[in-house]
Amino acid sequence: MTVRGSAILLLLTQGVVTAQTNSVPARKDSSVYSELAKAPKKAAARHNPLGHDPDAVAAGGKLFALHCAECHGEKAEGSRKAPSLLAEQVEQATPGTLFWILTNGVVRHGMPVWSKLPEPQRWQIVSYLKSLTPAGKSPQ
Amino acid sequence: MLATRFQIPGHRRAPSLAVRISFCTAIGLILATLALPARAQESPYIVTYDHYLEEPGSLEVEYFSTFGTQRAGKDFLAYWTEFEYGATAWWTTEVYLDGQTTFDDSTLFTGFRWENRFRLLQREHFINPVLYLEYEYVSGADKILKEIEGHDGEADTAGPNAVARKEHKNELELKLLLSKTFKGWDIAENTLAAKNLTNSPWEFGYAIGASRPLALKASVQRCNFCPENFIAGIELYGGLGDRYSFGLHDTSHYLAPVIAWNLPSDWTLRLSPGFGLNDNSHRFLLRWGVSREFSGFGAAISRLFGGRS
């Protein structure tokens, strides 16, 4: 039992390390943004119901720091785990597209689904993302 | 023999190597993760699973406790510690360490479980399926009642620990987890099939849960008592007999309100008073739990082994 238990623990630890090492590829190529194009037209056309809510950006920023910054970086600049959200592709994406990506995740590439956040909270995050100034552009 | 090894420090015998390794591992993992950032957004369920897995690279350390009343026997406190790790966005793996104290009897380490959950579909659908596979090696004295299966009932936990610990279960458990989130409501249904790997029939069970945050929009400020930090719901779970006598006859069932409080300081507290619905059930189960999620745990371990993060 002791030997078997220890072996299982060892295997588990090794699996954890392997899985983690494998799940951290470089995310600098632009192909990671191709997921944005996969949003169905109907989903991409959705309007942000909180687009005119004055608190949505601030609340979305709080949610971003809580749930997204670990992988996408505190300023959404990206990291080895996840792409920058300051990229032009993200700026050009419709709110509906960003909402669709948040809802469905990109499970194959390591982004979990975030439909566990209620819809208004996902829209708040979208409001925050749309408020960001893309890299290379000066704030207006 | 194995039951003897399961005894806990402070009681009749000195702790075995297995117990010491388990405790050292647990303490080591906790210490190793104290410096990591943490995020919490957890469901309130204690028995039911929805289709949301642990975020990749995150470790959630959880402690749960169940106080159970016992009509023909002694009340008990059963507890378990979970180490839940998001290996990928579609695979979560989890180790449980179980124990229990039966009042006026003794305290025992009752075994371990290794659980895996696999997301079957890449995207969100009307219903989202997750496959659950678990191996458990527990003694007959295990009382955590994490799932109710077959003809489980109050009488199974009535015997003295000295007798119950001599029995061992070497069990494989399969579940199909189905869930959906709709207008803030999380609705989940689990179907369970379990097989003791000795010559026992397949046993079946179910769990159903529904929950909703008290507010759907997030407030601007970080706050402890904001309504969106509280998720309330209800669980219904019980056994469905076995291969030879499938159905509700001679089974036990529970209805349990649940509430979770997700604190901005990254801790989650859960509370669930459960009520037995028939004569085979414990009259009352009070469950509570505390958990903390550590983001970046996998990266930290990877660095420790010389990997890149």
What is the C-alpha to C-alpha distance for residues A110 and B150, in angstroms, rounded to an integer? 37
Contacts of A110 in chain B (CB under 8 A): 56, 88-89
pTM, two decimals, is 0.84
Mean pLDDT, chain B, as a whole number? 88
Looking at the predicted structure, is the pLDDT value of residue A7 above 90? no
Q: Does B222 touch chain A (CB under 8 A)?
A: yes
- B178, two tokens: 């189905």
Looking at the predicted structure, is the pLDDT value of residue B103 above 80? yes
Q: pLDDT for A91-136, tens place per residue?
A: 999 999 999 999 999 998 899 999 999 999 999 999 999 999 776 6
Looking at the predicted structure, is the pLDDT value of residue B35 above 80? no
Question: How confident is residue A4, by pLDDT bands cut at 50, 70 and 90?
Answer: low
Q: Does B183 touch chain A (CB under 8 A)?
A: yes
The residue ranking higher by pLDDT, B94 or B16, is B94
What is the C-alpha to C-alpha distance for residues A118 and B186, in angstroms, rounded to an integer? 9
Contacts of B124 in chain A (CB under 8 A): 103-104, 113, 115
Q: Helices marked H in B215-293 — which ranges?
A: none
Which of A5, A21, A67 has the CB atom closest to B307's CB atom?
A21
Which of B25, B85, B186 has the CB atom closest to A16's CB atom?
B85
Determine the pLDDT at residue A20. Answer: 47
Q: Which residues contact A14 (CB under 8 A, 6 or more apart)?
A: none
Whether A17 sits inside 8 A of B302 (CB atoms) is: yes
Whether A59 sits inside 8 A of B57 (CB atoms) is: no
What count of CB pairs under 8 Å joins A to B? 141
CA dihedral of residues B280, B283, B284, B285 (deg, nearest 10):
-10
Helix, strand, coil shares of chain B as percentages rounded to 5? 15, 45, 40
Whether B93 sits inside 8 A of A66 (CB atoms) is: no
What is the C-alpha to C-alpha distance for residues B271 and B255, in angstroms, rounded to an integer? 13
Determine the pLDDT at residue B68. Answer: 97
Per-residue pLDDT, averaged over B15-31, amounts to 48
Per-residue pLDDT, averaged over B26-53, amounts to 68
Chain B: residue nearest A22 by CA? Answer: B88
Which residue, among B84, B93, B29, B38, has the nearest Cα to B301 in the 3D structure? B29
Contacts of A70 in chain B (CB under 8 A): 37, 39, 55, 295-296
Which of B5, B86, B220 has the CB atom closest to A58's CB atom?
B220
Q: pLDDT for B228-245, tens place per residue?
A: 999 999 999 999 999 999
Q: Which residue has the tokens 């305290």?
A: B107
Least confident window among A121-125, B85-89, B225-229, B302-306 = B302-306
Per-residue pLDDT, averaged over A12-25, amounts to 45
Whether A59 sits inside 8 A of B217 (CB atoms) is: yes
Question: How confident is residue B61, by pLDDT bands cut at 50, 70 and 90?
Answer: very high
Extended strands (E) in chain B:
59-68, 76-88, 91-102, 107-119, 128-139, 168-182, 185-196, 203-213, 230-242, 253-262, 267-276, 284-294
Q: Which residue has the tokens 């689904």?
A: A113
Contacts of B298 in chain A (CB under 8 A): 16-17, 19-20, 23
Structure ipTM: 0.82
Percentage of chain B modeled with pLDDT above 90: 76
Question: How confident is residue B66, by pLDDT bands cut at 50, 70 and 90?
Answer: very high
What DSSP state is assigned to residue B202? -
Whether B216 sits inside 8 A of A116 (CB atoms) is: no
Chain B: residue nearest A101 by CA? Answer: B123
Q: Which residue has the tokens 């969100």?
A: B124
Whether A21 sits inside 8 A of B302 (CB atoms) is: yes
Looking at the predicted structure, is the pLDDT value of residue B11 above 50? no
